């Protein structure tokens, strides 16, 4: 006795649908695990960076300065170093009434509180100097011609974007008006300048 193909079709379709659902569920599970693992790795790298910076600051005596090499880290987004003096009005709640530095996904007090790592710094003022950003404008020079004019800002960013590779931070500790000031400046390695 021969069975027709239409009798087998419903059973096969159900099996194929169940198999596809299982494969999709497995794929989503692996993707979620990977994203969580990557975020944990970024957070651990940020924690290590902030602890190392604090260690370098603590090792300096007032009146000393030095360049310190750091290894950046790759992530799905940029991470920032931002400093807050004890007199800064808009600063993370984590810092209370003390100066602190923070490594977080955005250079904002909210990001420091919610997603970042911070360290309290024994100083009255924290100065962070990042890169001098370029500001570009496009100017129409003819009916169909345009020129882009770029100028470098006279003031650096007040945060440092952590690069994915090797970088230098110039850290200094000075006493100004009976108050310790810590300055952290971003320096590119000489072979990249």
Average pLDDT, the chain: 82
Give residue 108's pLDDT band: very low, low, confident or very high (50, 70, 90): very high
Taking residues 94-99, report their average pLDDT. Answer: 89
The yes-or-no verdict on residue 40 having pLDDT over 80 is no
| Alpha-carbon span 86 to 93, nearest angstrom | 12
Instruction: Tell me: pLDDT of 190 over 70.
Output: no
Residue 99's Cβ-count burial label (10 Å; 0-12, 13-18, 19+) is buried
Would you state the pLDDT for residue 172?
Answer: 94
Burial of 176 (0-12, 13-18, 19+ CB in 10 A): exposed
Which ranges of 76-183 would DSSP assign to H, the alpha helix?
A: 109-115
Q: Across the chain, where does the E strand assignment appear?
A: 65-71, 80-84, 99-104, 117-121, 125-129, 134-140, 146-152, 159-161, 166-176, 179-187
Q: Note the pLDDT tens digit of each residue in 49-95.
A: 999 999 999 999 999 999 999 888 877 788 999 999 988 888 899 88
Which pLDDT tens digit goes with each residue over 11-36?
677 777 888 888 888 777 777 666 65
- The region of weakest confidence among 30-44, 152-166, 171-185 is 30-44
pLDDT > 80? residue 136: no
Q: How far is the C-alpha of 155 from the C-alpha of 128, rounded, in Å?
A: 11
Output the six-digit token pair for 5: 């193909």
In this prediction, residues 106-121 reach a mean pLDDT of 92
| Residue 175: strand, helix, or coil | strand
pTM: 0.68
For residues 27 and 38, give the distance between their C-alpha atoms in angstroms, rounded to a whole number. Answer: 16
Number of structural domains the chain divides into: 1
Q: Tell me what pLDDT residue 193 has.
A: 47
Q: Which domain holds residue 54?
A: 5-192
What per-residue confidence (pLDDT) applies to 5?
52
């Amino acid at each position: 006795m021969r069975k027709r193909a239409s009798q087998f079709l419903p059973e096969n379709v159900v099996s194929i649908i169940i198999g596809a659902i299982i494969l999709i569920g497995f794929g989503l599970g692996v993707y979620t695990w990977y994203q969580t693992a990557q975020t944990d790795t970024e957070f651990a790298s940020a924690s290590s960076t902030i602890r190392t910076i604090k260690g370098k600051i603590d090792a300096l005596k007032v009146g000393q300065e030095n360049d310190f090499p750091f290894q950046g880290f790759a992530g799905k987004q940029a991470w920032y170093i931002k400093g807050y003096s004890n007199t800064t009005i808009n600063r993370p709640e984590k810092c209370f009434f003390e100066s602190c530095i923070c490594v977080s996904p955005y250079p904002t007090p909210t990001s420091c509180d919610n997603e970042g790592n911070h360290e309290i710094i024994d100083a009255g003022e924290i100065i962070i100097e990042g890169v001098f950003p370029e500001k570009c404008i496009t100017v129409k020079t003819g009916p169909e011609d345009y020129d882009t004019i770029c100028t470098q800002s006279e003031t650096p960013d007040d945060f440092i974007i952590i690069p994915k590779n090797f970088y230098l931070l110039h850290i200094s500790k000075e006493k100004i008006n009976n108050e310790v000031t810590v300055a952290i400046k971003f320096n590119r390695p000489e072979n990249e300048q």
